[in-house]
Amino acid sequence: MTAALLELEGLYGGYGPVQVLHGIELSVEPGHVAVVLGANGAGKTTTLRAISGLISTTGDIRFDGASIAGKGPELVSKLGIAHVPQGRGTFSELTVEDNLRIGAINRRDNGIERDLRRWYEVFPRLGDRSKQEAGSMSGGEQQMLAIARAMMSRPRLLLLDEPSLGLAPLVTRELFARLGDLNREDGLSILVVEQNANLALDIGHWGYVLETGHIAVQGPATQLHDDEAVRKAYLGF
Amino acid sequence: MQLFIEQVLNGIGNGVVYGSVALALVLVFRTTGVLNFAQGEMALFSTYISWKLTTTGMPVVGAIAISMAIAFIAGAATERTLIRPMEGRSPLNVVIITLGLFLGLNSLAQLIFGVDPQQMPTPFPEGSVSFIGDARIQKETIGLIVVLLLECLALWFLLNRTTLGLKLRAVAGNPDSARLHGIRAGSMLMLGWGMSAAIGALAGSLVAAERTGFDSSLMQTILVYALASAALGGFASIWGAVIAGLVVGIADALTIQYVDALDGIEVVLPLALILVVLVVMPNGLFGKRTVERV
Amino acid sequence: MSEKSGAALEPMIGVAPEDVAVVPTGGEPSLWPVVPRPVLGVRIVIGVVLAAAALYAPFYFQPEMNRVLSQAVYLAIAAMGLNLLTGFNGQVSIGHGAFFGVGAFTSAILMIDYGWTFEPTILVSAVLTGVFGLLVGLPALRVRGLYLALVTLGLAVLFPRVAQKFVEGTGGVALLRPSRSEFSSLIDGLDDDQWAYLLSLAIMVVLFLLAWNLVRGRVGRAMIAVRDQEIAASTVGVNLAGTKVATFAISAAYAGVAGSLSVMIDRIADGTNPILYFQRSIEFLVAMVIGGAATILGPAVGALLLVMLRRNTENLIEGKEVLSPAIYGGALIAIVFVLPEGVVGGVRRLLARLGRRSVAAAAAARPPVVADPPPTTSPDDSH
């Protein structure tokens, strides 16, 4: 049995006296897309921050078998986990190209230029605006930029925090289509936190529903998508 | 005409000084988001160190180089111990800390180095060179201009053409996002403070050398003019700070010469300048619009 | 640090509830950290004790100490003025020393050149500096946080030079010393120094009550709303420009009154020191922050602490008076580290911990405060 790429076990964490996570258990299989759903305040963003080492936690976080709990974001990033935060984390005053180069900042190989060209092909609008200030782009373009920037580090696991936030439906559709492509073609493992359950579950393999800091429901993505009771109770559609 | 050119040259001489200190101010602001009111006094302290080293027989250039290195370390240490802990708290706390440093460093300098005026030897050749017509420009001024230009070029190269520079700019723009990309934000902040302290040390030492004697009041008026220059340049760019410094220097010299009514209160000029510019262009001459997100 | 590097001094929080201090509703740290206020009963007791101490003090202490206490009083007034502008209205000024100076020189000049008695000059100072505050507040509308701080700094630097240019005292320098007799006590049985203290105290109490009233009322709400979310404030009909300029004028007037009182207490208006008024500006700022910004008692507490600190560090090391600013500066830094909400905030926190009931009652009235806001790139981080 292949070990999961990412495993969270008995994870507790939060912000000082305000604890948000109450014993999270979840895993991401290699090459899979795991979707985490839930209402506002359930702890979705906090879970991702815990993985990246931005908050203090108790419990175990294992990446590729090795524990990364307690390690800071700089280290976690170098281990191959790329985190696209809520709000996209754009470096607004830098150019699009500089943004992408930041993605590759810890790489020592020669493939950076080639990767740049690749992402300009995958997201042509980035190529058009490569010398433009990133902050001047639309929300959808910045989201594409954020994903491309994350991919520039050639990660094995991509963490995405509400990528559809603030985006028009058409743009969101295109976004998830791209994510689906990346997963299928590159074998990229993705952990995506979303409120837009529909689109996320469409490209997902496994889904989790988070409720006040613990996993309430989990199952194959298609099952969650189709199960009426689950949808009504947790997903609001 | 002759007088005019001379005054312009005078202004350039001062303007280079203002620009140098403004450079340090803008650098620390751009890389760490903090306006360091203690910049002048940090430079003063470093200047005293340079001077002290020259009294031991060390050549001027060496003394200044060592003092810059010490300033770099001290600046980085200051960021780590005094400024970083304030991250996430009220920005006014940082202002108070820099003001506290302002007071503390000035009086420590008096305590350690005394209150008598001292003479800082100059690394530049004496004498002047003819410029236009009968007007002459001091070799020292040319030296200052060259140094400033080299600083700007070096900084520009570092920030825009190196990986390290990219990291600095990333942390300056969005430190949280930078961390997520594996950049050690803390190290970059320390680097920003270290570099600007070193630049301040250089500026202070050269200014002191230019004058006949200096004491602990050396940087106080200069700081005001440097702040004005930095503000005029919009705190946005290195070149902006330097150009603004020159503008302020020249305008100041011309005002002293030609506007008698302002005799004694010439300092009103840089202030008026900032005010007028900011009223017309709220982000300074070279600043960029920051969009107000609701 | 904020995402916009040009906005290091910009306040960035949600809209204020009906209380005087503000609670952050987003993930960004507020300009002033908030602590719940203790129960009314406790506050009354504290108030009575303080009032009694303040009134009894001049009869207990020697004139020299009374003078020091009086300095604390006028410093408190100036700090409160700054508190209104910076603490409650969010406009950062490091130039209030200039208004202080205008007040001081107004009183001195009226007394020396025009033969006025001291007391009426206070009013003139207040009005005059208020007008100056208005004049500064108008262009200040266009200038944001950081730049405003710089421009006001310029004012503080400019003032001594203006004084030097236009004012000539004995000896030809801009140094005015009204004679002692001008400040005689108006009440028999009170010594001069006691009178000075009590007069200043009375004025301080009046001004503090005025400030308290202002802050609690509609105007105060407008001030706070403008501080926290200008755009939102304007959409609910708050007159942005009016509020900001008015606050500037009022806060300048406070500083002017303080300057006036300083002439009575220190018996000097000094324009010869080029950085004096800059130092004053810093004093006001520090008194405000150390005492507790955006609180009513804060400026008074901060002023007292500052004056005591200055007095005690002055002679700390034999023969090394020059070191006292260093100790002063070092102490300021230390306090910022140890008590980030200022003394008043710290005391409130302590009292809150001692009386959990008050916290529960307070919590019922306002949304919860996140103690350690996470570093964030997103507006809302409670996921």
Report domain extents, chain C: 9-365
* Contact status of C330 with chain B (Cβ, < 8 Å): yes
Q: What confidence category does residue C254 fall into, taking pLDDT thresholds of 50, 70 and 90?
A: very high
- Burial tier of B266 (Cβ tally within 10 Å: 0-12, 13-18, 19+): middle
Contact B90 C33 (CB under 8 A): yes
Average pLDDT, chain B: 85
User: Cα B75 to the chain's mean position, in Å?
Assistant: 14
The pLDDT of residue A91 is 93
The pLDDT of residue C316 is 58
**What subunits touch chain A, counting only 3 or more CB pairs under 8 A?**
B, C
The larger pLDDT score, comparing residue A97 to residue B31, is at A97
Average pLDDT, chain C: 76
Is residue B194 included in any domain, yes or no? yes
Is residue B278 included in any domain, yes or no? no
Contact C333 B271 (CB under 8 A): no
Nearest residue of chain B to residue C229 (CA atoms): B294
pLDDT of B10 higher than 50: yes
Q: What confidence category does residue B199 fall into, taking pLDDT thresholds of 50, 70 and 90?
A: very high
Chain C residues whose CB is inside 8 A of the A89 CB are: 377
Chain A residues whose CB is inside 8 A of the C368 CB are: 18
Is residue B254 included in any domain, yes or no? no
Calculate mean pLDDT across residues C17-21.
31
Query: How does pLDDT run across C298-348, given as a tens digit for each residue?
Result: 899 999 988 887 777 666 555 555 666 777 778 778 878 888 777 888 887
The pLDDT of residue B171 is 92
* Contact status of C382 with chain A (Cβ, < 8 Å): yes
Strands of chain C (E only): list them: 175-176, 269-270
Cα–Cα–Cα angle for C282, C288, C292, nearest 5°?
A: 145
pLDDT of C9 higher than 50: no
**B1-15, B18-32, B34-48, B130-144, range with the lowest pLDDT:** B130-144
Is residue B37 included in any domain, yes or no? yes
Is residue B279 included in any domain, yes or no? no
CA dihedral B230, B223, C80, C269 (to 10 degrees): -140
Pairing state between β A81-84 and A157-161:
parallel
Question: From the CA of B108, how many Å to the nearest CA of chain C?
Answer: 6
Domain that holds residue B144: 16-217
**B100-114, B175-189, C223-237, C368-382, range with the lowest pLDDT:** C368-382
Q: DSSP string of C59-118?
A: HHS-HHHHHHHHHHHHHHHHHHHHIIIIIIT----S-HHHHHHHHHHHHHHHHHHH---H
Is residue B274 included in any domain, yes or no? no
> Token match 């008590």: residue?
C339
Q: What confidence category does residue C72 fall into, taking pLDDT thresholds of 50, 70 and 90?
A: very high
CATH number for region C9-365: 1.10.3470
> Token match 């602990």: residue?
B216
Contact A78 B182 (CB under 8 A): yes
Contact C378 A85 (CB under 8 A): yes
The pLDDT of residue C354 is 72
Query: How does pLDDT run across A137-186, given as a tens digit for each residue?
Result: 998 899 999 999 999 999 999 999 999 888 888 888 888 998 999 999 88
* Residue C124, beta-bridge partner list: none
> Token match 């002679």: residue?
C315
H helix and E strand count, chain B: 11, 2
Is residue B291 included in any domain, yes or no? no
Calculate mean pLDDT across residues C77-88.
92
- The answer to whether the CB of C27 falls within 8 A of the CB of C371 is no
Task: Quote the DSSP letter at residue A235.
Answer: I
pLDDT of C238 higher than 90: no
Calculate mean pLDDT across residues C236-264.
89
Calculate mean pLDDT across residues B219-223.
86
B31, amino acid identity: T
- Mark C93-132 as b/e (b = at least 16 C-beta within 10 Å): bbbbbbbbbbbbbbbbbbbbeeebebeebbebbbebbbeb
pLDDT of C383 higher than 70: no
Calculate mean pLDDT across residues C366-378.
42
Calculate mean pLDDT across residues C146-174.
79
Nearest residue of chain B to residue C342 (CA atoms): B93
Counting the structural domains of chain B, the total is: 1
> Across the interface, which of C33, C146, C164 has its CB nearest the CB of B264?
C164
Calculate mean pLDDT across residues B132-147.
83
Query: How does pLDDT run across B50-72, given as a tens digit for each residue?
Result: 999 999 989 999 999 999 999 99
pLDDT of C368 higher than 60: no
